[in-house]
Every structure is written in structure tokens, then in C-alpha cells.
């Protein structure tokens, strides 16, 4: 982990868009040159191989990042529900 002091915090609006509620611009590492640049950030090592494969397949089929995030969020919500039912 790079311990970067420049967080960005997003919240979802009622129309399912995202907005920034916190941002500090001082970084202690180099930045991506473009938004489309493929970079393997340290946090990516915490994403399991199946999720990475799903993301890759969605992006190869021109699914935009916003939709990818929505799909992942819906999947994780369902996964949490299944896990909580098993606990009862």
C-alpha cells in the first residue's frame, strides 16, 4: 500500500450517478497519464480472479465503467444477503 494522503470519496446520488464529497490532491506517487491507461494498482491484488475476469469480459464487450460498477455492486449486495441467510 502506498499510504497516499490524497483520498477521493464518492457517494451515489438518488439518480444513481456519483459525486465527489471529499478530495485532497497531494499525492506521494506518480499518476496515470490518461483515464484509459491500464494500470495495476496495489489495491487490485485484493480483487479475486473471478471478479477480475468478469470486469475484463464486461470491458471487452464495451460495457462502460459506471455500468460495471453497478453490476458489481448488485452482485455484492446479493452475495451479502446469501451470506446473512446462511448465518441464521
User: 81 to each of 2, 11, 23, 50, 87, how far by Cα in Å?
Assistant: 33, 22, 32, 19, 10
pLDDT of residue 50: 85
pLDDT of residue 2: 62
pLDDT of residue 19: 81
Which three cell numbers mark 62? 464495451
Ramachandran area for residue 25 (φ above 0: left; ψ -120 to 50: alpha; else beta): alpha
Q: What is the pLDDT along the chain (88 residues), one digit of tens a residue?
A: 567 777 778 888 888 888 888 877 777 667 666 555 565 666 677 778 888 888 889 989 988 888 888 888 888 888 888 877 766 5
pLDDT of residue 18: 82
Mention every residue, 6+ apart, whose C-beta is less than 8 A from residue 19: 10, 11, 13
pLDDT of residue 9: 81
For the chain, the domains span: 8-29+38-87
pLDDT of residue 4: 73
Amino acid at each position: 500500500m502506498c499510504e497516499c494522503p490524497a483520498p477521493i470519496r464518492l457517494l451515489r446520488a438518488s439518480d444513481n450517478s456519483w459525486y465527489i464529497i471529499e478530495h485532497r490532491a497531494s499525492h506521494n506517487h506518480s499518476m496515470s497519464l490518461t483515464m484509459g491507461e491500464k494500470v495495476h494498482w496495489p489495491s487490485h491484488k485484493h480483487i479475486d480472479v473471478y471478479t477480475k475476469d468478469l470486469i475484463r469480459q464486461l470491458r471487452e464487450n464495451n460495457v462502460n465503467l459506471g455500468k460495471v460498477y453497478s453490476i458489481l455492486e448488485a452482485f455484492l449486495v446479493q452475495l451479502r444477503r446469501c451470506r446473512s441467510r446462511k448465518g441464521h
